[in-house]
Structures are given as structure tokens and as C-alpha cells.
Amino acid sequence: MKCDCDYIVKDFSGKFEEHYDSCSTKGCVKTAPDGTLLLRNPHLSSLQTDVLYHLGFDSSQDLPGMFGDVKFVCMGGTKQRMRDFAEHMRQVLQTGPNQLVNLTKRSHRYAMYKVGPVLAVSHGIGIPSMSILLQEVLKLLHYARAPRPLVVRIGTSGGLGLPPGAVVVSSWGANASGERVYELPILGVVRKFPSLFDTRVSQELVSMAREEDPFPTTLGGTMAADDFYRGQARLDGPFCDHSEQDKMAYLQQLRHQGVRNIEMEATAFAALTREAGVRAADVCVTFLDRLLGDQVTASKETLTAWQKRPMIIVGRYISQYCKQNQ
Ligand SMILES: O=P(O)(O)O[C@@H]1C[C@H](O)[C@@H](CO)O1
Ligand SMILES: O=c1cc[nH]c(=O)[nH]1
């Protein structure tokens, strides 16, 4: 098969040629023929039962019965936000349980709600917390045999040159050095995984914005930091040995590279979903313009209202999909 993908790997069974990249080649296979997730880990087949420890599930349960109809996994930092999102989707889709139930309550670590084809799950702060949750969700989707799921992060961020309350749909994630990769030390060796999002899904999400929306929705690069304070060039942490000038030079450099917002998950989120062959998008609201300051000063009410904005965009997308696939 000839194809424009940069990254081509063979499935361990040798049966499928899989592509990490978004690829338009007809016949390019990223998943099993029925659209379910293939996991590229030969060791999993030797496990009698796979324990998804942080989610509080295991593969001996009827995961296809519980999650086989999942089409959208939406995740974000806080438990409350993801409960609010589940409630939002219950209203948009006019479906779901009468009472929302936290499905991961046995583990106490994250929160997970299911509303029809939508799974809403919290992931905590930063790449380590998010990536543990995401990897267990990928295994859950695999065991549940959920076909062609879309995974969306509904987050918050600091903007670069955007009005606070703007929504950014990420085209890629960059690390603090501006590289579009997720770096992970494995067996003591730092490995780099490309952190690009699915262009088509991101553009479709941006197209969900309406003229009457009281906020702009824009496509842009997202820097994922490993810290909220110095790692995001802030001057207001407990430690700081850089100047206001250093900070501004760094933020302006990011902006010139195409970064429109800063959060703490985009690189790993893009890279892990891409490696799994799952379409994904990162949709974040900005809480402040980092070119104008460091502190998040908007009121609790305003921040809560702004957090709804990515939900509105993603809710429209899911609603449109459900109407077209009734
Ligand atoms: O989804 P959330 O709001 O958690 O995303 C950003 C990045 C960090 O997780 C956190 C820092 O406040 O907010
Ligand atoms: O500035 C911000 C705001 C929210 N989340 C971040 O990571 N940074």
C-alpha cells in the first residue's frame, strides 16, 4: 500500500499496516476492520484479567455491555466540570440516566459518567495524571470493543494574545522548547512521540462556532507545560529567577511559533491518542491573556461560565453526529 504517512508500523500480528499520522490514503488501516482499537502490546494477551486499577474496572467484567456503545470520550481536569458536561450532554441529547452515577467511585481517583454514547471523565492536573487515565480509557475502549471512538479534552488554559474567555481548538501540542512532541523516558532513554491532532476533527470543531456566540473560537498551537508557575514563565510563583523581560520574550517567541494557549496536557494527549490510532481533539477556554498578566483574577461565576464554552462547541459536534447517525 502506498501512502503519505510519515509513521508506518506493523501490527504485532503482522496483519495490519497501521499509521500514526492522519492519512487520507484510501484503505489506510489504523484500527481493526470493525473499527475497534488495536493495542500494540503483545504482553497484554498473556494476562488472564487486565486490571484497570485507577478506573476500578477489569477485563473480566462485561465491558462490551457497559461501554460498547461509547462513541465520544470527553475528558477534563476536574470532577465537577465533567459532571457538568455529562449534565449538559443529558440536556443536549435528551438521553441518559435520571441520576448521574460516578462509575469509577470504587477507585476514588477520577470521576466518570456515561450519557448515551458519551463518556465524561476527569483526568486531574498535568501529563502524569492525564496520561494514566487516558491509557486506561484506551484499554477500556479496546476491551469494550467500542468502534471508532473520538476522544476530546475539554480544558482550561492561559491564552496568548486572545481575549479571556476565548476557545482554542489545538492543531498540535508543543513542549516547553517548542518541539511538537511528547517526551517520555522509557527504560532510562528519553523517547519522543509526535503530538499532532487530527486536522479534520479540529477544523470540524472550529466550524461548530456560531456568529452569535459571545466568544471567539480559533484553531492554534497549544504549549503543554509541566508546571503552572515557572514552567509557564509566570512571575508569581514561590520561586522565580527570570525577569519580566525574559518572560515576555519567551511568550512572544511561543506566539510567533503559532502557540495560542498554554495548558498542561496537550502533547501527551495528542501523542498517545495518535499512537493508539484514535481521533482526538483538545478544546480549551482561556482564563486570561498571558501577555497581560499571570494571575487568574476572574470571579468564580465567570470562570464557571467560561468553562461551559468548550462544552457548547463539543456538545454541538456530538449532537450533529447523533442526528446524522440516528
Ligand atoms: O483541564 P484543566 O482545566 O485541568 O487544564 C488546565 C491544565 C492543568 O491541568 C490545569 C492547571 O490549572 O488547568
Ligand atoms: O494559565 C493557565 C490557566 C489554566 N491552566 C493553565 O495551565 N495555565
DSSP H helical ranges for the chain: 63-67, 79-93, 126-144, 199-206, 244-256, 266-276, 300-324
Q: Whose CA is nearest to atom 2 of ligand 2?
A: 158
pLDDT reported for residue 6: 39
Decide: 136 in ligand 1 pocket, CB within 6 A: no
pLDDT recorded at residue 48: 96
* Domain at 24-324: CATH code: 3.40.50.1580
pLDDT at 33: 73
- SS3 label, residue 215: coil
Q: What was the pLDDT predicted at 31?
A: 64
**How far apart, in whole angstroms, are the C-alpha atoms of residue 83 and residue 180?**
31
- The pLDDT score that the predictor gives to residue 12 is 36
Ligand 2 site residues (CB inside 6 A) read 156-158, 228, 232, 262-264, 287
Strand partners, 263: 224
Q: Which of 130, 264, 288 to mutate to test the pocket of ligand 1 (most atoms within 8 A of CB)?
A: 264
CA–centroid distance, residue 43 to ligand 2 (Å): 37
The reply to whether ligand 1 has any atom less than 6 angstroms from the CB of 229 is: no
Is-contact 61 43, C-beta < 8 A? no
The residue contributing the CA closest to ligand 1 atom 13 is 156
DSSP-assigned letter for residue 74: E
Please report the DSSP string for 111-140 in residue order: -EEEETTEEEEE--SHHHHHHHHHHHHHHH
What are the domain boundaries of the chain?
Answer: 24-324
User: What ipTM was predicted for this assembly?
Assistant: 0.99
pLDDT tens, N- to C-terminus, the chain (326 residues)? 444 443 333 333 433 344 433 444 444 445 677 888 988 788 999 999 999 999 999 999 999 999 999 999 999 999 999 999 999 999 999 998 889 999 997 778 999 999 999 999 999 999 999 999 999 999 999 999 999 999 999 999 999 999 999 999 999 999 999 999 999 999 999 999 999 999 999 999 999 999 999 999 999 999 999 999 999 999 999 999 999 999 999 999 999 999 999 999 999 999 999 999 999 999 999 999 999 999 999 999 999 999 999 999 999 999 999 999 88
Do the beta carbons of residue 154 and residue 75 sit within 8 Å?
yes
Nearest to 261 by CA among 177, 191, 143, 174: 174
Task: Give the mutation target among 125, 167, 226 for probing the ligand 1 site: most ligand atoms within 8 A of CB.
Answer: 125
Q: Tell me the ligand closest to 225's alpha carbon.
A: 2
